[in-house]
């Protein structure tokens, strides 16, 4: 859409409101809803003022005025509001200069796309994220001085095979770690996922599939690839739709990477490719039919993987997923077949579909920052011809300990990831895509989470140490 399309739609469809949306540094979607009578061409040109000091990690109270500039190409009808409402995603700018605000994640993603074009390496980068999630029926948690606990339940989870229900227990449940691709009635979420996917399609998103995942109550919906900013917008819409459809069914969704012990966690595998002059840059005659540029791109991701973790795996909970034994990609290696390495090359017959899959990111990430950082690491690899070394086609978890010890790993905690980002951020600063002030502000926000986590006693500590 353009501005005239939106104004025409407001009149023809009797739209009541315009919802302007933006994303904060942690990746949470924010919004404010405006009456239709305020909306005209001047509104789109002038933007909307708001209080930036109320957003964590942004302005101080003495410099709080900020402006939202609407991107009309991102417009869609919200399917969940009773009153017809058009939603538009925004970039954040400085009100006195209209220059992009350096800490705005969506603005960073736009700069990353511009940097790619300016580099001469390619014209467009395509992203295909695969974000997993859990659907629960009951979620309770407590963080008080005398009680730190959580409790979750899902009627279709493996642990409920002997639960007594008023209407009886049907017994159709996937086994522990056995949830991949069963049909209904074992897959009890077919209809809710179908509604999630059809809702996305009605909103203009390009979708392809949905299915149950490996863990109890774990699921995934598929998005067809698109540009960096476009796909970051789509992940925000993806989460929004999934949360709200589940809520309408009386259920709760989480994108936490590891909400329960002993089963697979949720990742967000990110498929990437670069095109130049209408041709796929990653197709070639090297390993797995990749080009030399694609191998250098992989080299950049592997080299900067630990710094990337702070942006691709930004939750303390992320590192409960990044452990061996659950298909978790903890090893800084690449392969055309192996899923235990950080990077995989999916099989395809078409050069147009040749791509690189980063497997370590998870859906707690801010998609604008995550995708931008991955692109910057890969471009650094191409610019500096970073050799990724030989591919690892063995089962990496089945290697002898002495061989396994020689393969570097990703970070083991958010604390380590933040320390690595502090040491290795220059590749993100190229072309002013990220700024040092932005990254320092982001790191400060994340240290607050680390301290909150590290300073809180955990129930497992009572089991291990209470009687010592």
Helix (H) or strand (E) holding 460: helix 459-465
Is 36 in the active site?
no
Q: Is 220 a catalytic residue?
A: yes
Catalytic residue, from 71, 78, 156, 357: name it.
357
- Residue 422 is a catalytic residue: no
Q: Which of these is catalytic: 13, 41, 45, 51?
A: 51
Q: Which of 24, 156, 187, 220 is catalytic?
A: 220
Active-site option among 123, 130, 137, 289 = 130
The three-state secondary structure class of 207 is strand
Which residues does 36 contact at the CB level (< 8 Å), separation at least 6?
Answer: 10, 15, 16, 17, 18
Catalytic residue among 187, 213, 233, 420: 213
132 in catalytic set: yes
Catalytic residue among 31, 211, 337, 339: 339
- Of 36, 103, 106, 359, which residue is the catalytic one? 359
Residue 393 Cα distances to 14, 287, 396, 404, angstroms: 58, 11, 8, 13
Q: Give dist(CA 409, CA 314) in Å, integer.
A: 17
CB 225, CB 234: distance < 8 Å: no
Please say if 5 is a catalytic residue. Answer: no
Runs of H (alpha helix) within 120-173: none
Helices (H), 169-291: 190-202, 228-248
CB 200 within 8 A of CB 238: yes
- Asked, as a colleague might, if the bond just before 185 is cis with ω within 30 of 0, I would say yes
- What tokens appear for 109 in the block? 């993603």
373 vs 55: CA distance, rounded Å: 22
- The residue behind tokens 């009890």 is 188
Cβ pair 77, 203 in contact under 8 A:
yes
51 is catalytic: yes
Q: Give the angle 233-238-243 at the CA atoms, nearest 5°.
A: 130
Respond yes or no: is residue 130 known to be catalytic: yes
Q: Of residues 132, 156, 293, 380, which has the active-site annotation?
A: 132
Q: 358 — phi, psi (to 5°)?
A: -85, 120
- Told to judge if 213 belongs to the known catalytic residues of this protein, a careful annotator would answer yes
Active site residue 420: no
DSSP state of 101: P
SS3 300: helix
Catalytic residues: 51, 130, 132, 213, 220, 269, 339, 357, 359
């Amino acid at each position: 859409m353009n501005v005239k399309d939106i104004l025409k739609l407001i009149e023809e469809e009797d739209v009541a409101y315009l919802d302007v949306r933006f994303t904060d540094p942690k990746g949470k979607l924010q919004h404010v809803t405006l009456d239709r009578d305020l909306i005209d061409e001047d509104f789109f040109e002038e933007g909307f003022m708001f209080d930036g000091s109320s957003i964590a990690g942004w302005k101080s109270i003495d410099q709080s005025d900020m402006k939202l500039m609407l991107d009309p190409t991102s417009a869609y009808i919200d399917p969940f509001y009773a009153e017809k409402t058009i939603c538009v995603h925004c970039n954040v700018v400085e009100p006195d200069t209209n220059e992009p605000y350096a800490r705005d994640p969506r603005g960073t993603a736009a700069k990353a796309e511009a940097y790619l074009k300016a580099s001469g390496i390619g014209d467009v980068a395509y992203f295909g994220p695969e974000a997993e999630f859990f659907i629960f029926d009951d979620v309770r948690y407590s963080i008080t001085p005398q009680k730190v606990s959580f409790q979750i339940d899902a009627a279709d989870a493996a642990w409920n095979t002997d639960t007594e229900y008023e209407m009886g227990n049907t017994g159709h449940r996937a086994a522990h770690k056995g949830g991949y691709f069963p049909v209904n009635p074992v897959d009890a979420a077919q209809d809710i996922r179908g509604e999630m996917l059809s809702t996305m399609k009605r909103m203009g998103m390009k979708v392809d599939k949905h299915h149950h995942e490996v863990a109890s109550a774990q699921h995934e919906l598929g998005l067809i690839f698109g540009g960096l900013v476009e796909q970051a917008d789509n992940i925000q819409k993806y989460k929004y739709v999934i949360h709200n459809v589940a809520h309408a069914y009386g259920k709760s969704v989480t994108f936490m990477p590891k909400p329960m012990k002993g089963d697979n966690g949720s990742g967000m595998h990110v498929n990437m490719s670069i095109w130049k002059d209408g041709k796929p840059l990653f197709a070639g005659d090297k390993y797995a039919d990749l080009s030399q540029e694609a191998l250098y791109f992989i080299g950049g991701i592997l080299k900067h993987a630990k710094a990337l973790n702070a942006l691709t795996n930004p939750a303390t909970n992320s590192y409960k997923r990044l452990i061996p034994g659950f298909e978790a990609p903890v090893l800084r290696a690449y392969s055309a077949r192996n899923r235990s390495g950080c990077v995989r090359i999916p099989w395809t017959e078409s050069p147009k579909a040749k791509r690189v899959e980063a497997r370590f990111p998870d859906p707690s990430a801010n998609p604008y920052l995550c995708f931008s950082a991955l692109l910057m690491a890969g471009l650094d690899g191409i610019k500096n011809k970073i050799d990724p070394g030989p591919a690892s086609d063995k089962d990496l978890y089945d290697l002898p300990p002495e061989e396994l010890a020689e393969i570097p790993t990703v970070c083991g905690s958010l604390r380590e990831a933040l320390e690595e980002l502090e040491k290795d951020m220059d590749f993100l600063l190229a072309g002013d895509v990220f700024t040092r002030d932005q990254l320092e502000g982001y790191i400060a926000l994340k240290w607050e989470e680390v301290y909150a986590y590290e300073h809180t006693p955990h129930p497992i500590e009572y089991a291990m140490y209470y009687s010592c």
